[in-house]
Every structure is written in structure tokens, then in C-alpha cells.
Chains A and B, each alone.
Chain A
Amino acid sequence: MSKRTDPAPDDRLDELESKRRQAEQAGGEERIAAQHKKGKLTARERLGILLDPGSLNEIDPYRAHRHHAFGLDEQRYPGDSVVTGFGRVDGRMLAVYAQDFTVLGGSFSEVQGQKVARLLDLALDAGVPVVGLMDSVGARIQEGVYSLAAFSELFWRNTQASGIVPQISVMLGPCAGGSVYSPGLTDFVIMAEGSNMFITGPKVIETVTGEKVGLDELGGAGVHNGISGVAHFAAASEQEALALTRKLLGYLPANNAEPPPRRAPADDPQRMETALNSLVPGDPSEAYDIRAVIELVFDRGSFLEVHAGFAQNAVVGFVRLHGAVVGVLANQPMVKAGVLDIDASDKLARFIRFCDAFNIPLATFVDTPGFLPGVREEHGGIIRHGAKIVYAYSEATVPKLAVITRKAYGGAYIVMSSKYIRTDLVYAWPTAEIAVMGAEGAVEILYADKLKGRPDKAEAEKDYVDAFRAEFGSPYAAAASGHVDDVIRPEETRPKLIAALELLRDKRVPSRPRKHGNIPL
């Protein structure tokens, strides 16, 4: 009888250590060096920057694919093309996954799909946010339909988790083809300089439509932040993108059953900013930067603008008011006169719905002359898109506050968080002009008969306009009929909003059961 020589416990531990080393080496030293040469970091390096030191708990590091076709059996790596796990950011737990470009180009495979789906299931059960670091050539063609199935599992889970836990996608490399739908489904997309996203690449586009376009021009960070609106943040480097992710997470609750994280208030709640009193120019044709209002009213330095490069005629972002997180939305008079158009409507509506899903109160600053006129907008469906804003505000049950700083005309006034779509408290500055339309337009219609064929038409028109403006170009007519809750001095805005937010801290609104509404899309 031969004696079995079982490996001693020490040998077993050594074996584990060597397997760990191998898993950490991922695609091997050469490929890691190649990644660095391109100015990019590896998946684990990125996670090291994103998470609090030492907090990463990796799961499924030894999971490997089972395919043989096209030489895949020679290219079997532990963990495959993604690193998944959970860790902490500023002490708060979250689930993370980072595509590993050193393993077969980070290609989306069956195993990657399984690992990420497993992670999302865990995150949904645990109620923690999910952050995905993307850097992948796309589907692993060698695995065929298996990789497609993997994608779908991910997208289904992105959807199941939507509105329950915050999901953030950080683009740190290419992302092409079907896989872009995962970031497309998540709540926020951060793009680092050099990353890109598109469904069909330049080569195929050239074959089909003949258009010649480069990678960056087609789907780079600039394009998605400025034109398509797919990305919400742009970062100059990977480190900046990861730092931005940490900052963003600081405003968000871990799940939809929690209020957003509070900070100890460091700014005086009674602060009356006299600068606000003179911010709105006396000349109604002069613009001002609404972001200056936001910076002055809310806790100093707390403004994180979201979607800053897209539809700049509207401004959205997170702020803190006495330490409590608030979602702020505003028209930007400095860009396109602050009109509402298709892109601005989409930007506002999506942000409102995110905040409503995650218990973040809303504060809206209104200064808009209306929707952008033109055949282009009408044929583009401004009706459908503008309706999104009304829908989002009307459906939202978080505390809603509004401050009308200057113009609030017609339909745009109604959609921008007016009293009757159940905004809890609406304040107006003395410079507010709440009217069906601007004075000039109204006079042209109302006094058309009286002005027809008069020799002194210009003079008379001016008199009518002045009279109209005197009566309606102020908040008092609106206040008299209950359209606004109070007219306040601009410098009082901060204490007024704090008191309002305090009142509504525990706001709850009963809801009627329905599967879900049918928001115009």
C-alpha cells in the first residue's frame, strides 16, 4: 500500500499565492506594458485609484472560458477579460467591474457577461451602486452567439437595476457595437479623453454611406458631451475620470430606499448675498450667467454640473443646501437666450427623473422666453420632447421648489416647475415677468385692430408695450392670482429655500398603482 503524499498545508497556501499572482498578471507583462505605452492604465490599477485603499474584494478571479474555436483554448486566462468585485468609496460600499484590455482586448465574452451579471445580481440584492470601467474592443467574435447572450444578460440587469441602485459607466477606452447599450442604459456616463463610443465604426460607415470620419470625430468624448448628449461628464485623463466618479458618488444614495448622503453644513444658512440683488441686468435683452446664481445661493463650492457641454441653454447638476443634496435645474439666459429646445428638454427631463427615483429634492430657476421657434424644431418633434419636461415634473414626488428670476412666458413657464404641476413652493424675484408671452408679441396680437394703418404706429405700439409691461411684466399679477407663493428679495433666496426644504423634508405623496406611465419618448 503506497502512502499518499498529500501536499502539506504550506504547499497549498503557496499554490493559492501563485494562482493569485497569475490572476493579477491578467494578460501578462507584455500586454500590461503595451497598455501603459498607450498611456492607459490596467483594470486593477484603475480600481486601485477609484476605491479606498485596500478595500477591493475581488470575486470570480479564477473564472475562465470554456471555448475552443479559433485557438481560444490556448488563450485561457483566469478571470477572463473583466475584474469584478466590491469595495468602498469614502467608506461607502459599492460594486465595481473593470474591463481588462490586456486579456483579449477586454472583449465581451460569455464569461465576462456571467461575471458582470453575477455582480449586478449581488449589487441589486445588497442595494449598492454599480460602477463599470469600460475599455473593450467589443464582442469576442470567436465565441459567436455566446457573447451576444452575455450582452443581453447585462442589459437586462442594467434595466432591472435602473432606478433602484445608481449605475455609473466610466469610459476609459474604446466601446463599440452592441456593448455601448450598457453605458447607454446607465444613469451617468463619464468619458475620459481618448475614449470613444459608437454602434458602427468608421470603416463600416465608409462602406455603407461613403462618409469618411475618424474615431474621435465619430464618437469621442467631445462628441458625446457636446453633440449627442450620451455622455454626462468629460475628463481630461483617466485619473480625473476616476476622481470625478468618486465625487459624483458623494451626492448619491446607495439605493432608492435611502435619502442622499448628508454632509455637516459648513456654510451659514442665513447668508444673504447682496450680489444677487443686482445680478439680473436692468435691460431685459442683456444676459447673465445663471450658474452665478446657483453658486451664490447654494452651499459654497458644492455645485457639480452635470451634462455641462450638452444643451447649454439649460443647466442641471447637484448642489448641497445646508448639507442636504438637491438637484438643481435652470435656464441659462447666456446661451440661446435660455430658450427650451429639443436637446434641453431631454436633458432636463432625464435629470428630473433620476432625482425623483433617488429621493433627491429638486430646485428650479426659471428665466426662459419660451420654446425655440422654427420649422427645424417643430419637425424635430419639440412637442414630444417638451412634453417630457412636464411629464417628469408632474410625476416627481420629491420636494420641488422653484425660483422665477426673470422671464417666464407661456408654455415654457408652465413646464418649468410651475405651481400647477404641483411644485411645492414657487418664489419669484421682483424682476420676474410672468406672462403668456412677451410684451411686444402680446401687443401685436391684442391691439392688431387698434394699430392697423395708423401713422404713429411705432409710437402707439411702444405705449401699449410699456403699459403691458407695467401691468404684466412683474410678479405681482401672478402673485395676486396665486401663481407664485411669494415675491422675495434675491438676497433672501438662500434662507427661503432652506426653510422650504426643511418643511418638505418628510414629504410623501400617495401614488395610484399602475405598471408605469407612458412618457413621450
Chain B
Amino acid sequence: MKNKHLKVFLDGTEFDVEVQAVDAHGLEVSVNGRLYKVEFEDLDEAALIPVIAPTAPAGPGGPLRAPMPGDVTQVMVKTGDEVGVGQELLVLEAMKMKNVLRAPRAGRVAAVDVAAGQSVAHGDVLVRFEE
């Protein structure tokens, strides 16, 4: 694509377009001898990342338990908060990844048993809900 040379006619006016550099976001062109930096923004891109509702695992009552051993790095809710299904509750760092744990059902937080910086084991109770 580089150094491609084209004549572009716009409303009868002639432009001499030559590309000097191309990257993922735009290009440098010389048009009739003058250098311009052109950037592109793909408007389709932002719109088309499908937003799929997080399906929290359907299950009966019970607290949110740690799905794997790890470290709690962030707690986003506190006692008394009303949460909806799939709402982010806390971040568990495990397997070198930040795992966002979400509410399995809508309800009010009865207690948050862990704090940021705490290590948890598989199955440890993290957040309890009001029944």
C-alpha cells in the first residue's frame, strides 16, 4: 500500500495523492506536495461488539462462594447494597487473571465476608445475600 501513487479528481480539481506511511489507525499522505496526517475511526467497530448479558449460573439460594483459590483484589459492594443478577461484586485474582465475580441472583447483600488483599480457598464464602 505504501508509495501507491494516484491521481484523484474532486469536482474537477486534480489532486496528486501519494502515501508515505500506513498504520492500523491512519496514514500519512502527500497531496499535491503537502504532507497530511489522516486518521480513520471505524464507526462500525464500536457498535458491533455484541453485548451479551452475563448469564450468572442459575442456582438456588446460598452465598457467593469462591470458584477457585485466589486473592481478592477488589470489592465493589458492601452490606446493604441492592444488586441485580450479573452485577459485579468483587474481583478475584487467580490463575494470573482478574476474575470478576458476579451476583447469581438479585437481592440485598447481607454481609461481605472478605476484604481486598485477602486470600481465599475454593468454596470459601465471599458474599452473603439476604434470603
Contact = CB atoms under 8 A, between A and B. Distances in A.
A234 interface: yes
Interface string A296-338: 1000000000001110100000000000000000000111111
Contact of B57 (A217, A221, A310, A438): A310
Nearest to B51: A292
A223 B57 CA distance: 9
B122 A275 contact: no
A90 interface: no
Contacts of A279: 49
B23 interface: no
A234 B58 contact: yes
Interface size class of B (residues with CB under 8 A): 20 to 34
Given A217-B61, A275-B49, A312-B55, A372 B98 contact: no
Contacts of B93: 285
Nearest to A218: B60
Interface stretch (B28-36, B40-48, B110-118): B40-48
Majority-rule SS of B interface residues? loop
A286 interface: yes
B122 A285 contact: no
Interface string A366-394: 00011011101000000000000000000
Q: Which of B50, B67, B94, B122 has the most CB of A within 10 A?
A: B50
Nearest to A368: B95
A296 B50 contact: yes
Given A336-B68, A339-B68, A291 B52 contact: yes
B54 to A, nearest CB: 8
B49 A336 contact: no
B87 interface: no
Interface size class of A (residues with CB under 8 A): 35 or more
A7 interface: no
Contacts of A81: none
Contacts of B60: 216-217, 220, 222-223
B100 interface: yes
Contacts of B122: 374, 376
A98 to B, nearest CB: 25
A9 to B, nearest CB: 58
19 contacts: A217-B60, A220-B60, A221-B58, A222-B60, A226-B57, A274-B44, A274-B45, A275-B44, A278-B45, A284-B97, A287-B99, A310-B57, A335-B67, A337-B97, A339-B95, A370-B95, A374-B122, A376-B123, A438-B96
Interface of B: 24, 42, 44-45, 48-50, 52, 54-55, 57-61, 67-69, 93-100, 122-123
Interface of A: 216-217, 220-223, 225-227, 234, 273-275, 277-279, 284-287, 289, 291-292, 295-296, 308-310, 312, 333-339, 369-370, 372-374, 376, 438, 440
